[in-house]
């Protein structure tokens, strides 16, 4: 088997870094299609979503992990466990450090944890390079190298990238591929993710619901796709997919915010999510959204299980 794929490399990579470092956006840029959700609110990524890059000489499977942070709730603890499990399983790790923010305790904490994974190659990725000038970028590259020395991480490479402009995203992909072991492709050609469609759709609804909400509400929103059924009696050239999804919040007051005046906000969320879902699936969709209260679900093991955590 190996012989058939001489020179071919395949394996898993993940981007780590403090919340808002640009991991999800970078995953999308590397994979080239919208897969992981992004948001300008920290700690919104919850699932280990994989994107797959197919190249003539290799296959790179990217696992998108949540931000590692000091856990305050049971959900927080589970998220951190998920991060550590993921780290131990991948072939290469990219630590993302934004170019426009000073290296802080959060980065040091993660780098120190990475140092413990002796055998896994690590790259330092300076993200959002478009936000700074050449001088600041050079400073940040030096600071990242120093972070490696300070924490005992040996960087295989240090790369500046911009997921927004695409600058050096291709180079980063090459450098990640170079760290993978030789072996046959792990997924069929053309596949972009092995995440079930329901999960991707739930994430798109959650992303739409997060738009413009504040304070603790972002962390209180969870989405479950209850049902997806093709509408019956539709002409073959005009199919319609019925999607029923529940949007969970923790309190009645949050429910009111999500629904908005006379349902205006929920309608907007539905429209935005539907557009994204139709883009993902390539088929017209009727999206039916229901807002439900699952009291303090972030602290309730039973509820967490039900919501897929
Ligand atoms: N200008 C610029 N902004 C970026 C870039 N990459 C990410 N961002 C922005 O930075 C913010 C955070 O990006 P995410 O990709 O959601 O960050 P993350 O590290 O996945 O965040 P968590 O899910 O909270 O861990 C978003 O507002 C992005 O639009 C970039 O290359 N350039």
Q: What is the pLDDT of residues 62-114, one digit of tens each?
A: 876 555 555 666 666 666 666 676 677 789 999 999 999 999 998 998 898 89
Q: What is the mean pLDDT of residues 8-29?
A: 89
pLDDT at 229 over 60: yes
pLDDT at 134 over 90: yes
Q: Is the CB of 97 under 6 A from ligand 1?
A: no
Residue 212 — very low, low, confident or very high, per pLDDT cuts 50/70/90? Answer: confident
> Given this model, what pLDDT does residue 146 score?
97
pLDDT at 189 over 70: no
Q: Is the CB of 100 under 6 A from ligand 1?
A: no
Q: Is the pTM of this model over 0.80?
A: no
Which of 289, 295, 301 has the alpha carbon at shortest distance from 223? 289
> Given this model, what pLDDT does residue 192 score?
63
Establish whether 271 is an annotated binding residue: no
- List, by residue range, all CATH 3.40.50.300 domains of the chain: 2-178
Give CATH superfamily name and number for 197-306: K homology (KH) domain (3.30.300.20)
Residue 41 — very low, low, confident or very high, per pLDDT cuts 50/70/90? Answer: very low
Distance of alpha carbon 171 from alpha carbon 173, whole angstroms: 5
pLDDT at 45 over 70: no
Residue 165 Cα distances to 106, 110, 275, angstroms: 26, 27, 24
> Given this model, what pLDDT does residue 155 score?
97
In the block, tokens 């992303």 appear at 207
Q: Return the best residue to mutate from 15, 16, 24, 96 for the ligand 1 pocket (most ligand atoms within 8 A of CB).
A: 24
The CATH code of the domain at 2-178 is 3.40.50.300
Chain segment 136-157, per-residue pLDDT in tens? 999 999 999 999 999 999 999 9
In the block, tokens 């012989």 appear at 3
Residue 217: which H helix or E strand, with range?
helix 217-220
- List, by residue range, all CATH 3.30.300.20 domains of the chain: 197-306
């Amino acid at each position: 088997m190996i012989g058939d794929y001489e020179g071919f490399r395949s394996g898993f990579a993940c981007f780590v870094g403090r919340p808002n470092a640009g991991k999800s956006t970078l995953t999308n840029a590397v994979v080239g299609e919208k897969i992981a959700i992004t948001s300008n609110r920290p700690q919104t990524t919850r699932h280990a979503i994989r994107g797959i890059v197919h190249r003539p000489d290799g296959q790179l499977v990217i696992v998108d992990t949540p931000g590692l942070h000091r856990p305050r709730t049971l959900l927080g603890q589970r998220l951190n466990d998920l991060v550590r499990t993921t780290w131990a399983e991948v072939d290469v790790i990219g630590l993302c450090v934004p170019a426009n923010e000073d290296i802080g305790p959060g980065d040091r904490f993660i780098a120190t944890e990475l140092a413990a994974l002796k055998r896994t190659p690590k790259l330092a990725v300076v993200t959002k390079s478009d936000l700074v000038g050449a001088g600041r970028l050079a400073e940040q590259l030096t600071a990242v190298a120093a972070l490696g020395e300070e924490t005992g991480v040996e960087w295989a490479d240090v790369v500046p990238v911009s997921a927004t402009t695409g600058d050096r995203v291709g180079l980063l992909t090459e450098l990640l591929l170079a760290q993978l072991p030789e072996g046959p492709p792990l997924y069929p050609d053309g596949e972009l993710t092995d995440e079930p469609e329901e999960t991707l759709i739930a994430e798109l609804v959650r992303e739409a619901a997060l738009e413009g909400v504040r304070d603790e509400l972002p962390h209180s929103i969870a989405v479950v796709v209850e049902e997806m059924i093709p509408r019956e009696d539709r002409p073959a050239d005009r199919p319609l997919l019925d999607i029923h999804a529940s949007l969970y919040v923790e309190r009645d007051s949050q429910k009111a915010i999500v629904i908005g005046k006379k349902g205006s906000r929920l309608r907007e969320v539905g429209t935005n999510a539907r557009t994204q879902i139709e883009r993902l699936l390539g088929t017209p969709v009727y999206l039916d959204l229901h807002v439900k209260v699952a009291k303090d679900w972030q602290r309730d093991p039973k509820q967490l299980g039900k919501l897929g955590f």
